[in-house]
Structure 1
């Protein structure tokens, strides 16, 4: 899940427009906010029609939120989002009383497809905290939360990945390559498998065993049957020769990426 903080002016602010104040990549939530969302990833089995998303309000006042869903692809080696009706939120707009939580059902339309897709289908669920509109609201800026939650519909016969013990990943479906520019490493990863792979804690390991961290925490996903590219700034030259390693699907230890220079 990715969460960001949006800063928006109240209705009495001078310019009357919403402003983007900060974008914070958080593993679970923005610490400054009162809206919490769980779980952080949703998975649908091939015959599952609905899933539960819980929104919790830790504030002392009601919170309004909107839930939207978009299809997620990487056809251009980058994240692409498009409107979709393959998943729907019910309800799509909620008000959560102070100290309470609200169930939102993420639903697949009926009847379900008779021929499951060859590859896992990916979506992003957007949960937006809505601005408070009140005469008692002090003039100024409101800090609002936006959550981006991955959701996946599994292909026929696939095993869920979020509810099983984490273990080393079979990397035979990954085809990765990298190249160096003047001040960056450009990493390109293709996933020929039928389920996503999540990369985190990317590092460079020299042949002498020295490890240079390239990305702490989550790097991103490579979706099923697709390709993703990242440009990673380098503060220093990498000691050559060596290889790239990363934690895959939150496995407890890093694994060597099957890469070749180009």
Structure 2
């Protein structure tokens, strides 16, 4: 399916929990790391794999994803359902999970969700001493595209950059810290990565070499950033948007400090 394209984005969080008589590493792997539903697609497929030597249990939950007052919010939702929601996976095996579209009405804007996959702790052995167990949590972005649109395809040849006019925001930097706020006026998400400061004399300072995050359709996101050094007083902030091949100068108020 076109919605199963892999992306270089997945939040895998290593959790530490008390587990009787066990010390190990999280072995849960998830594929793909991004899901997209075209407006007529009823379901998508997620694979959960166990790379370890012991059975593991996993739980899949899906939340509506919003950005309010510049902050990420995950809200309860029955719009998408995981089947099965819990699995036990043998060593070296994998489990297919269907992500079923239940209650997502057509919309002029892309709708966003987060799929949370947790590796569950092993049941405590009643006679063993305490120990540590290392568990993984994967956070997978899921998007339901607006009616009448299709999932983006890998570009053939030279592709046009994302329309920078869809973004507006502000930038404030002082010393070794900065605040970046971006509002997305478009109908689809915009992924922000490779943020850098280009001073008036042409010197570049890399601020976020990899992924910074998403600005969802019609919403606003704010980041507090640690700077590698104090920035020159005058310059422009650049970032790569989505799958663009080159970075663009962000349209920001307060760029010259």
TM-score of the two chains, using structure 1 as the length reference: 0.85
How do residues 175-186 of structure 1 correspond to structure 2 at under 5 angstroms?
Answer: 175-186=168-179
**Would the aligned equivalents of 2:187 and 2:218 in 1 still touch at CA under 8 Å?**
yes
Q: Distance in 2 between matches of 1:130 and 1:152?
A: 26
Q: Distance in 2 between matches of 1:79 and 1:247?
A: 21
Gaps of 5+ in 2: 1-9
Deviations 1:74-105 (A, max 9, x none): 12111011110001100000011111111001
How do residues 179-198 of structure 1 correspond to structure 2 at under 5 angstroms?
Answer: 179-198=172-191
How do residues 42-191 of structure 1 correspond to structure 2 at under 5 angstroms?
Answer: 42-109=35-102, 113=105, 116-133=106-123, 135=125, 139-161=130-152, 163-165=153-155, 167=159, 168-191=161-184
**Would the aligned equivalents of 2:110 and 2:187 in 1 still touch at CA under 8 Å?**
yes
Structure 1 counterpart SS, 2:71: coil
Residue of structure 1 equivalent to 2:4: none
User: Residue 118 of structure 1: CA displacement?
Assistant: 1.8
Structure 2 counterpart SS, 1:74: strand
Which residue of the other structure, out of 8, 12, 34, is the alignment partner of 1:3? 12
Q: 1:137 to 1:223 in 2, by over 3 A?
A: farther
Q: Distance in 2 between matches of 1:121 and 1:245?
A: 27
User: Residue 146 of structure 1: CA displacement?
Assistant: 0.3
TM-score of the two chains, using structure 2 as the length reference: 0.87
Query: Is 1:259 paired with 2:252?
Result: yes
Q: Distance in 1 between matches of 2:209 and 2:216?
A: 20
Q: Distance in 2 between matches of 1:45 and 1:248?
A: 21
**Would the aligned equivalents of 1:200 and 1:250 in 2 still touch at CA under 8 Å?**
no
User: Residue 182 of structure 1: CA displacement?
Assistant: 4.4
Q: 1:130 to 1:70 in 2, by over 3 A?
A: same
Q: 1:138 to 1:56 in 2, by over 3 A?
A: farther
**Would the aligned equivalents of 2:26 and 2:135 in 1 still touch at CA under 8 Å?**
yes
Query: Is 1:245 paired with 2:238?
Result: yes
Structure 2 counterpart SS, 1:172: helix
Q: Distance in 1 between matches of 2:109 and 2:79?
A: 15
User: Residue 176 of structure 1: CA displacement?
Assistant: 2.2
